[in-house]
Amino acid sequence: MPVSGEFADWATELTMRHVPVPVRRAAGRRILTAIAAGVGAARVGLVDPAVHVAVGIGGPPEAELIGHAAGRLAAPAAALANGMLIGAARPEPDGAGGAMAVVLPVAMAVGQEVKARGDEVLLAVIAGHEMACRLAAPDGSRSVGVLGAALAAARLMTLDRCRVRDAVGIAGEFAGAPIGTGGTPGLTTGIAAGNAIIAARLAASGANGPVGGIDELCRAWRLRPERVLGGLGGEWVGEPHPAAKSTDYQFDLETCERLGGSRRDARALVAEVRALAFAPSLDSILALTVRVAAGS
């Protein structure tokens, strides 16, 4: 079976009981770090052009922005802005070319759009991030976030495995690399996040992905299928987060507190993200990011 088919089968069948506790903890900490980065970028207006463009696009009220009380926007527009907010602040590298900065905005936007539970969003993030880590270049230079994000979006949209494969294949058409240096911070991650949702929506509407799917990309990148798929479902190749090594797993409040806002709001944000596996509300998480960003 092609690589994209194997990933599609695995992702559609993945449940929380298949995910070891350390993997959940590492994902939760990465999510908190990414959200904190987005709140920080919102506070200092780091990517205001992206926010202005997203608000201008408008569209159906599907998803909200991190750290901004702009109201609900179309999911691709929200993912574009949130991807730029997170990517611009450069949260810790995750060994997959900053994939979490693409996967998380997509999972949050589509999760709100389809009214998914928090645990469903967490599973989508874990699946997309794992796929990106398996396809990433050792130096993190490869643009794989859009592939993992399309997988996350397709899973949240409850597409069947054939459509999941198409979504990832279509996203592969967007898997380019930045040209040159400089430019607007977070632009690559933001555009990748918006494109991932478009890829999943195209697949849901009946568009087919390239015949080779991501297998052609694997050949171009000289990735052996056994290296990409080895242990899938039993072994997790995503780098463990250092903070996940603690048995009781306490989130560090420093990241949130230094962004401003009250200690109470920072603690509440930490608690909501920590409880993602138990289905908290994404709306409450995003509302808290606005309060923390405003420094109220």
pLDDT in tens, 152-207: 999 999 999 999 999 999 998 887 655 555 567 788 889 999 999 999 999 999 99
* Higher pLDDT among residues 16 and 88, named by residue: 16
Q: What pLDDT shows up at residue 250?
A: 38
Q: What pLDDT shows up at residue 268?
A: 83
Has residue 251 got a pLDDT over 50? Answer: no
Q: What pLDDT shows up at residue 269?
A: 83
* Higher pLDDT among residues 180 and 284, named by residue: 284
Q: Which of 2, 1, 284, 6 is nearest to 151 (CA)?
A: 6
Q: What pLDDT shows up at residue 89?
A: 72
Confidence of residue 96 (pLDDT cuts 50, 70, 90): low
Alpha-carbon distances of 88 from 7, 50, 169, 225, rounded to whole Å: 29, 11, 27, 33
Measured in whole angstroms, the distance separating CA 192 from the mean position of its chain's CA atoms is 10
Measured between alpha carbons, how far is 120 from 152 in angstroms, rounded to an integer? 10
Confidence of residue 259 (pLDDT cuts 50, 70, 90): low
Alpha-carbon distances of 111 from 146, 155, 236, rounded to whole Å: 17, 10, 24
Measured between alpha carbons, how far is 149 from 171 in angstroms, rounded to an integer? 9
Q: Which tens digit of pLDDT belongs to each residue from 115-128?
A: 999 999 999 999 99
Between helix 263-274 and helix 21-44 the angle, nearest 10°, is 140
Confidence of residue 45 (pLDDT cuts 50, 70, 90): confident
Confidence of residue 249 (pLDDT cuts 50, 70, 90): very low
Q: Minimum mean pLDDT among 6-15, 105-114, 152-161, 245-254: which range?
A: 245-254
Q: What sign has the CA pseudo-torsion 90, 138, 188, 158?
A: negative
Q: What pLDDT shows up at residue 278?
A: 87
Measured between alpha carbons, how far is 38 from 97 in angstroms, rounded to an integer? 17
Has residue 30 got a pLDDT over 80? Answer: yes
**Class of CATH domain 3-294:** mainly alpha
Has residue 78 got a pLDDT over 90? Answer: yes
Q: Minimum mean pLDDT among 54-58, 191-195, 259-263: which range?
A: 259-263
pTM score above 0.75: yes
Q: What pLDDT shows up at residue 230?
A: 87
Q: What sign has the CA pseudo-torsion 106, 108, 113, 118?
A: positive
DSSP state letters, 244-270: GGSSS-PPPSHHHHTT-S-HHHHHHHH
Q: Which of 98, 107, 157 is nearest to 127 (CA)?
A: 107
* Higher pLDDT among residues 52 and 219, named by residue: 52
| Count of CB atoms situated within 10 Å of the CB of 170 | 25
Alpha-carbon distances of 21 from 12, 39, 95, 282, rounded to whole Å: 20, 27, 20, 21
Has residue 285 got a pLDDT over 80? Answer: yes
Token pair, residue 283, equals 């709306």
